[in-house]
Structure 1
Amino acid sequence: MNLTLRQLRYALAAARYGNLTEASRALHVSQPSISMAITQIEEFFGRQIFVRQRGAGVSLTAFGQAVVIKARQVLAEVEALEALADDTALPSGEFVLGCFEDLAPYCVPSILARLRGKYPAISVTVREEGFDTIGRRLDDGAVDIALSYDLGLPATVATTVLCELAPQALLPADHALAGRDAVSLAELAEEPLIMTDQAQSWQHVLELFHLRGVRPARAVRTGSFELQRSMVANHFGIAVAYSRPYGDVSYDGQPLVRRPISDPLPLQRILLAYDRKSALSAAQLVFIEEVKAWFAEVWPTPAAEHPFKEPAQAP
C-alpha cells in the first residue's frame, strides 16, 4: 500500500481538531509526525488536503473533505475486521461530538457518564457549537456527530430524531401571567421580548410570532440562554424558549416560571446528525443507541408541562 493506516489516522485527527498541536497531543505523538503524514498523503495524491494556517492550524480543502470521508470508511472497516478476532470485546475508539451550546449542559455530561460506565474504552471529545457553526463542522470533518435542534444543519446529513418539544414562555415568578395555566403569543407580544443573539435562534422565535400574526412590542437580544433567563427573572421582559433546565431559578438566584403557549405552534426537534456518506464506527453506533435511550427515559414528551425527569444514575 502507498498509504498507511497510521497516515490516515493522523490526517483524521488533524481534521478533527483543526490544529496539529492538539492532534499530536490527542494521539500522543510528535507534531512533526502529524505534519509528515499529511505531507506524505498530499504527495501521494498530488493535491493539497489541508490549508496550513499560522499557529499550526489547518482546515480541509474541498478535496481534503472527500479524502477524510473515504479515510473514515476505511478505518471503520478495519476496526470491524479487527473485531472479528474477539467478538466479546467491547467497542472502543474516539470521536468528536458537536453539541449546540445551550443544549450541551443539560444532557451531554449525563450521557457521557452513562456511556463511560458501559464502554470505558470509548473516548468522546465534546465541542460546543452555535447554530451558525455546527453544520460547517460536520461538513469539514471537525465533528463526527452533532447533537442539536433542527436548525442550521445541511441537507446532506443523516439524522435521528430524539424528541420533539413545544416552545414555552419564560416569565418572572410574580408576573401577572405567571398564574395562568397557559399564555398566548398575543399576550406575550405586549411585553419586551428577550432573545438570545444566536444565529437562526432569534429569527426562529420571531417567526413563531409571525405565524400568529402578531409582533412583539420590543425585542432585546442577549448573548446566552442563561443571561436571557436572568433578564427575565429580573423583570426586563419575557422569553420564548425550548430548553428546559431542572431549576426555575436564574444564575443570580431570582425565581422565574415556565408556562405552555396556548397557540398551535410547530414543534422543534432535537436530533443527532452525521454525514450520510461516512460509515459510522462501532463506538459511534453504541453512542447513538445510548443517546436514544437517555432521551427516551429523561426528556419530556411534547405535552408535558414539567421539566424533564430526574435521570437514572449512570452504571
Structure 2
Amino acid sequence: MLYLTLRHYEYICAVARHGSLSAAAEAVHVSQPALSAALSRIEDHLGHPLFLRRRGAALALTPQGRLFAEKAQALLEQAAQLEDPKGAGAGQQQLVLACFADLAPFLLAPALKALREALPDVEISHRACGFEPLIAALTGGEADLAITYDLGLDAGFSRAELGRYVPHALVPPEHPLAKRSGITLEELTQYPLVLSQEGMSLQHMLGLFKTHGLVPRIAHRADSLELLRSLAANGEGVGISYSLPPGGMSYDGKPLRAVPVTDPAASEPVILAAHAQLPGASPAFQAHEILRNVLSAGGSDLAQADHHVD
C-alpha cells in the first residue's frame, strides 16, 4: 500500500506549479519517468485524477487536484516552518537510498556515513527491503538510488557495477564438503539444499541450475539469511548464499564452512541502480558518484571484504 509522504506532496505541487512533467522533474531533482510513475501511483491511491492530460497541452489541475495542491502546499510550508522556524530549511533537498536487505548489514551504514559527510545539506533517509519492494520504490520515485543485485530491474535503470560475488555452499565442519576449495553446481545436486525463500533470490538460484540442465534437491526454503545459515550449520542441508557474514558462525553459535561455487555463470554483480537520466544538479547525481567511489572495487576496503546473494 502506498503511504503519501511530504515528497509526494512536493511532486504534486511542482507539477501544479510548472504545468509539465519535465520542468517539474527538474525542479524536484528526479527523472521524468520517476515523477510520472509517482504521479500515477498517487492518483491511484487517492482514487481520482489530479491532472488533466491532453496531447500537446500543459497538464491542468482538475477541481479535486486544485484543492489537493493548495492543501499540499500549505502542508509543505508548515513542515518547513516546524523543521526550521527561521526558514533556513525550507528548501532543504532530500535523498532516499534503498538497499537489498541481505546487503544492508554490509554496505548501507558505510554508504550513509559517506553521504552524510559529503552532502551535509541534504536530508538523507534509507530503506532496507527485498527485491520487489526495492524495485517498486525506484519505479515509483520513492527511492532515488538502490544498492542491490541486478535482478528484476528493467532497461529504464542505469547500473554501476560495484563488484562481482559468487555464491557459497555453507556446511558444518564435519560435512564432506567442508575441506573442499570449491564445488560446482552439478556436484551440489547430490546434496539436499537450503535456499532463500525470497522470490527473486529463489528464482535466480533455480535458474542457475536449470541453465545447466540440473535439478536441485531442496530440503528447506528459509525466510531469512540467518535461518538459512542456522539450518545449514545444524546439518539440515547445504546452504547456498551469496551473503557471507564474517566470523564463520551461525546466529545460534554453530561453526560454518563456506565453499565457493566455481561455475563462472554463478557470479553476480552488486550494482548501484538509478534512473537512467539523473539531473546533473540533483543530490541523487552527486550521491551516485560518491557511492561509486566509496563502494566499488578498488574504491575502498569494503570491496575486499566478503559481501556476498542470498
Q: Report the TM-score, using the length of structure 2 for normalisation.
A: 0.68
**Equivalent residue number for residue 51 of structure 1:** 43
Q: Using a 3 Å threshold, how does the CA distance of structure 1 residues 209 and 63 change in structure 2: closer, same or farther?
A: farther
**Equivalent residue number for residue 199 of structure 1:** 199
**Equivalent residue number for residue 307 of structure 1:** 306
The SS at the match of 1:169 is strand
Checking the alignment, whether the CA contact within 8 Å between 1:134 and 1:153 is kept in structure 2 is no
- Separation in 2 of the partners of 1:127 and 1:60? 29
- Separation in 1 of the partners of 2:136 and 2:181? 40
Shift of 1:241: 1.9
- Separation in 1 of the partners of 2:105 and 2:50? 33
The one-letter amino acid of 2:301's match is: V
The SS at the match of 1:94 is strand
Q: Using a 3 Å threshold, how does the CA distance of structure 1 residues 261 and 115 change in structure 2: closer, same or farther?
A: same
- Separation in 2 of the partners of 1:120 and 1:173? 47
Question: Is 1:286 the counterpart of 2:294 in the alignment?
Answer: no
1:124-153 deviation per Cα after TM superposition (whole angstroms, max 9, x unaligned): 211122222322221211111111100011
Shift of 1:169: 1.5
Shift of 1:214: 2.6
- Separation in 2 of the partners of 1:171 and 1:61? 55
Shift of 1:269: 0.9
**Equivalent residue number for residue 179 of structure 1:** 179
Shift of 1:280: 4.9
**Equivalent residue number for residue 298 of structure 1:** 301
Pairs aligned (count): 247
Checking the alignment, whether the CA contact within 8 Å between 1:135 and 1:154 is kept in structure 2 is no
Checking the alignment, whether the CA contact within 8 Å between 1:195 and 1:222 is kept in structure 2 is yes
**Equivalent residue number for residue 6 of structure 1:** none
* Stretch deviating more after TM superposition (221-230 or 120-129): 120-129
Query: Which sections of structure 1, spanning at least 5 residues, go unmatched?
Result: 1-16, 28-33, 68-91, 309-315
- Separation in 2 of the partners of 1:59 and 1:269? 39
Question: Is 1:19 the counterpart of 2:3 in the alignment?
Answer: yes
% of aligned pairs identical? 31
- 1:115-194 alignment to 2 at 5 Å? 115-194=115-194
- Separation in 1 of the partners of 2:196 and 2:51? 36
- 1:217-236 alignment to 2 at 5 Å? 217-236=217-236
- Separation in 2 of the partners of 1:263 and 1:219? 22
Q: Using a 3 Å threshold, how does the CA distance of structure 1 residues 144 and 238 change in structure 2: closer, same or farther?
A: same
RMSD (CA atoms): 3.5
Checking the alignment, whether the CA contact within 8 Å between 2:279 and 2:285 is kept in structure 1 is no
- Separation in 2 of the partners of 1:298 and 1:60? 50
1:200-243 deviation per Cα after TM superposition (whole angstroms, max 9, x unaligned): 21111112222333322334211111211111111111122222
Q: Using a 3 Å threshold, how does the CA distance of structure 1 residues 229 and 155 change in structure 2: closer, same or farther?
A: same
Q: Which of 16, 23, 26 is the aligned partner of 1:41?
A: 16
- Separation in 2 of the partners of 1:62 and 1:219? 51
Q: Using a 3 Å threshold, how does the CA distance of structure 1 residues 290 and 39 change in structure 2: closer, same or farther?
A: closer
Shift of 1:62: 11
* Stretch deviating more after TM superposition (221-230 or 270-279): 270-279
Checking the alignment, whether the CA contact within 8 Å between 2:272 and 2:292 is kept in structure 1 is no
**Equivalent residue number for residue 272 of structure 1:** 272
**Equivalent residue number for residue 78 of structure 1:** none
The one-letter amino acid of 1:41's match is: A
Query: Which sections of structure 2, spanning at least 5 residues, go unmatched?
Result: 21-38, 53-58, 60-91
Q: Using a 3 Å threshold, how does the CA distance of structure 1 residues 197 and 235 change in structure 2: closer, same or farther?
A: same
- Separation in 1 of the partners of 2:197 and 2:50? 31
The SS at the match of 1:51 is helix
* Stretch deviating more after TM superposition (112-121 or 101-110): 112-121
Question: Is 1:251 the counterpart of 2:251 in the alignment?
Answer: yes
